[in-house]
Amino acid sequence: MSHTQASGPPDDAPADVVESAPTAVVRPVPRRPRQRFRPHLLVFLLPAAAVYTIFMVYPLIDSMRLSLYAPVDGVRAFVGLDNFVHLLTDDLLSARFWNAVWNNLVFFAVHFFVQNPIGLLLAALLSSATLKGRSVYRTLLFIPTTLSVVIVGFIWQLVLNPIWGLVETPLLGQSSTALITLSLMSVWQYIGIPMILFYAVLIAIPDELLEAAKVDGANGWQTFWRVKFPLVLPTIGIVSVITYVANMNAFDLIYTVKGALAGPDFSTDIMGTLFFRTFFGFQLQRGSSTMGATVATLMFLLILAGVLLYFFVWQRRVEHYEL
């Protein structure tokens, strides 16, 4: 075992040397005082938490509870997972459900591969110091986001009308093109959201980094891919998960343009319209609150799976930089 001894004059040193030798004083490192909880913060947090719980958390939990019940002899009884088994195994219901899931994924894929790259491109152009009138372009590109979905759907129906519109092909009337056309309409309306998020990150990049890249001989394209793009990667993940959640909850544009049946031949049917018909009923289809809650629960599980995939696959692999 080793012992640590304090350094000092030797034992046989003269008395005057011993008296004049400096002595080391060891002082304990002061601990940071623990921050006391401030009760007045509850005044600001509780109202928002109460509203969110009443209008978001409670309906979600109650719909999950309702999916475990079904009417039996006119009385609502607990049936466990029978509603889920019936939805996923019944010939008609399962076909409608998987068709809606596939259409939802296509709807998201168009936004992911079209809306987000174009939003990043527009943000890169708007962040250029040599572009004149950037504020005007930024406002014009963001204006469609503030419009009502009803107005957007009505305008695009006029534009795409084969009789007096700009195209001769009924893009909204064909099963092969209706879903892609509606997806691009949604991209046109909401492209301002990823553009603004990317723009906020690009303008926050220090000028010293960009000037250093120019000094090293990098051109504009190399500066974007090797300097700007790595700094934007975390925001790309955030925008992607926001887009996924929003698209899996989509309903209003499809319902405005194609109605609850999401025609033609259910080619534009997504989870939102399927839930509407199942819960409230439509035309000859009777509504069922328990089966509608089952569809809503599966929607929640699909959204949860996508969010968890983002946190455990993307979020852990992307390196964050402090600007």
Q: How many domains does the chain have?
A: 1
Q: Which residue has the higher pLDDT, 30 or 196?
A: 196
| 42: confidence class by pLDDT, cuts 50, 70, 90 | confident
pLDDT digits (tens, 9 = 90+) for 174-216: 999 999 999 999 999 999 999 999 999 999 988 888 889 888 8
Q: Does some domain include residue 157?
A: yes
Tokens 């409608």, residue?
Answer: 96
| 3: confidence class by pLDDT, cuts 50, 70, 90 | very low
- Asked if pLDDT for residue 154 goes beyond 50, the answer is yes
**Which H or E run includes 78?**
strand 75-78
d(CA 190, CA 110) in angstroms, rounded, equals 12
pLDDT digits (tens, 9 = 90+) for 253-268: 999 999 999 989 999 9
Q: Does some domain include residue 62?
A: no
Please, are residues 120 and 236 in contact by the beta-carbon 8 Å criterion?
yes
Q: Does some domain include residue 30?
A: no
Q: Does some domain include residue 245?
A: yes
Q: Does some domain include residue 310?
A: yes
pLDDT value, residue 272: 95
Q: Does some domain include residue 19?
A: no
For residue 224, what is the domain's CATH number? 1.10.3720.10
Q: Does some domain include residue 284?
A: yes
pLDDT value, residue 16: 52
Q: Angle 239-245-251 (CA atoms, 0-180°, nearest 5)?
A: 125
pLDDT value, residue 302: 95
Q: Does some domain include residue 210?
A: yes
Tell me the residue range of the domain where 190 lies: 82-314
As beta bridge partners, residue 77 has 70
